[in-house]
Amino acid sequence: MRVVVSIGGSVLAPGLDSDRIAAYASTIGSLTADCQAGVVVGGGSVAREYIETARELGADEVFLDQVGIKVTRLNARLLITALDEQATLTPPEDYETARQAFRHGEVPVMGGVTPGQTTDAVAVALAESVGADLLVFATSTDGVYDTDPETDPDAERFETLSPQELVDIVVPMDRDAGASAPVDLLAAKLIDRAKLRSIVLDGSDPTRILSATLHGTHDGTDIVPVGVDQPDQWGDQWRLMTQTLALMHRWRLRLTAPLTPRISSQNPTPNTTRTGRIPSLTKLRHESPTNRS
């Protein structure tokens, strides 16, 4: 299973908190035990402060984008430092280099790539280029809302959306200056184009990424393209859980079966026993749910 995780800069390092960065490194490291993982890191409040200062000094928009990209790569370097040998030595600056890292078993940790493109869009492009099964956005909100929850107390969160529905929701937010969309419009359109299964969740607790990626359980919003199945890993775990529950139910029925007298033709003495037989402990120990009929 291949997964790309997009981490907002303010989510990864609020106030440049080293403990939060270390916690994210631990989470990504745990993911690599079951998945191939790539990461894209945003600039957060630090990037916004630099950009605002540069704008006041008269910088043009391309220069401002370049400033933001530099900050995202600094944040990426912090995560790379915490990941140590699991990650690439430096943030890949293009998608080809990131794909090579996947092939070598390393975790590519990217920042921004080109002016005019946010790290949300970079994450989608990376996920598409490596054929990821899942894209996870770790944001400062717990999913996608119909309006900006920062300004509207009556905003309602969606549990599931199609990519096109995500685009329709983001468009008015993207046009409204100062609004906070969960992902930007370009990223939403790229998700629609690539038909990428995605999750938008609250990234303040990095362990939420683990449960969402490995089990599909989370309190955020699923972005589910038409015709795209859930990752096989979720299906395997679901089937195993279903089979286990069915087997437990079967055993429970045997254990609670009514007592009835059973008379053998060779031994006419009635023998009170259960109609079912409780499997021996040895048999239970060696008999898994997947090979029982």
Sequence-distant (≥ 6) Cβ neighbours of residue 177 within 8 angstroms:
none
Confidence (pLDDT) at 148: 83
CATH 3.40.1160.10 domain position(s) in the chain? 2-230
In this structure, the strands spanning 198-202 and 134-139 are: parallel
- DSSP letters, 98-152, are HHHHHHTT-B-EE---STT--HHHHHHHHHHHTT-SEEEEEESSSSEESS-TTT-
**Strands, E assignment, 234-290:** 259-262, 271-274
Closest C-alpha among 136, 132, 196 to residue 167 = 196
Contact between 166 and 144 under an 8 Å Cβ cutoff? The reply is yes
The whole-angstrom distance between residue 191's C-alpha and the CA centroid of its chain comes to 15
Q: Which CATH architecture has domain 2-230?
A: 3-Layer(aba) Sandwich (3.40)
User: 268's torsion region: left (phi>0), alpha (psi -120 to 50) or beta?
Assistant: alpha
The whole-angstrom distance between residue 225's C-alpha and the CA centroid of its chain comes to 16
Q: How far apart are CA 91 and CA 210, in angstroms?
A: 23
Name the pTM for this structure. Answer: 0.78
Confidence (pLDDT) at 273: 45
Sequence-distant (≥ 6) Cβ neighbours of residue 7 within 8 angstroms:
24, 39, 40, 41, 42, 79, 138, 203
Contact between 109 and 41 under an 8 Å Cβ cutoff? The reply is yes
pLDDT in tens, the chain (293 residues): 999 999 999 899 888 899 999 999 999 999 999 999 999 999 999 999 999 999 999 999 999 999 999 999 999 999 999 999 999 999 999 999 999 999 999 999 999 999 989 999 999 999 999 999 999 999 999 999 988 888 888 999 999 999 999 999 998 876 544 446 789 999 999 999 999 999 999 999 999 999 999 999 999 999 999 988 888 777 555 444 444 445 555 555 555 555 555 444 555 554 544 444 434 433 334 444 444 44
Q: How far apart are CA 206 and CA 25, in angstroms?
A: 9
